[in-house]
Structure 1
Amino acid sequence: MESQVRNLQRLLNGLVTVTTVEGLSFQGILMNYDEHMNLVLRQVEEIPQDNQQREPKRIGLMVMRGCNVSTVEAVQLPEITVQQFKSNKLQIGVGTVKPYGRGFTPV
């Protein structure tokens, strides 16, 4: 369960489809989650069941309890901007590892 919750980190700000234990499906953008797999979604639409011929119901913002979540599927992964990519790199300075010892010159 813990690894499943950690996998949600990659899906933040991405479009996901969440299926509940009752069989209902919701599609929206994953805003946040916690260790209990409680989810916060925005721009949510309820996806109709296969036998229902109706338009998706727009809900907007939704908080879903983790005990009701059956599956979370990625529809579209979030786009990474150049600024986010640069901020993910290690910065030189305090708190970074620098090689030192035989064969290495001090940095």
Structure 2
Amino acid sequence: MAMKRAKLADLINFRMRVTTEDGRQLTGTMLAFDKHMNLVLADCEEFRYTKKHAVAKSQGAEGAADLVEDKRTLGLVVLRGENVVSVSIEAPPANDNSSRLGVIPPGTGTARAVGRGMGGVGALGAAPSLAGPMRTQAPAGFSAPGAPPAGFAPNAPPPAGFAPPSMFGPPGSQ
């Protein structure tokens, strides 16, 4: 009797246990994969088995090697497919929509473009952001940075006590 094998695409949102080349086991919800077997796991936990040497005081022996399981919570993990040795199913996806990751119930809103330059067509036939710079008049008493203060004529000589700027070096060098 042949058993139907599930394709990896059918296992999205399943709880998976992935074994890596270095012996670690990662358990998480599979969100995505690609042709290289790179995996994206959400709510991921790492399980590692290490040897811990326990010294028996009464025997005076070197000690016996015990396997100790270390558990670590990782969260969202992108696992390189080159390191994947095996993938097995831990649990099917949950049926209720509240526990699924990234699921937002549909709303009644309207999608609209937002941002710079997304307004209507200007007087020149192009969008305002594409029409080029516009000439505006500054409010009374306002001066732009680097401009002479209000009340000065644009091409007037400098006030008394100010020397004209030198063209050939820093001030006072001539």
TM over 0.5: yes
Residue of structure 1 in register with 2:89 after alignment: 74
2:41 alignment partner AA: L
* Number of residue pairs aligned between Structure 1 and Structure 2: 77
1:1-58 CA-partner distances (Å, limit 9, x unpaired): xxx9x82112110100000011111000000000110000010000132754355200
1:30-41 matches, cutoff 5 A: 30-41=30-41
Unaligned runs of 5+ in 1: 82-107
Greater relative CO, 1 or 2 (CA 8 Å, sep 6+): 1
TM-align CA RMSD: 2.2
1:51-66 matches, cutoff 5 A: 51=51, 52-66=67-81
Q: Is the 8 A contact 2:17 2:27 kept in 1?
A: yes
Q: Percent same amino acid at aligned positions?
A: 34
Give, in whole Å, the separation in 1 of the partners of 2:36 and 2:8: 12
Residue of structure 1 in register with 2:103 after alignment: none
Residue of structure 1 in register with 2:19 after alignment: 19
The structure whose Rg is larger is 2
Say which structure is richer in strand: 1
Give, in whole Å, the separation in 2 of the partners of 1:72 and 1:33: 12
1:65 alignment partner AA: R
Q: Is the 8 A contact 2:16 2:88 kept in 1?
A: yes
Give, in whole Å, the separation in 2 of the partners of 1:31 and 1:48: 23
SS at match of 2:49: coil
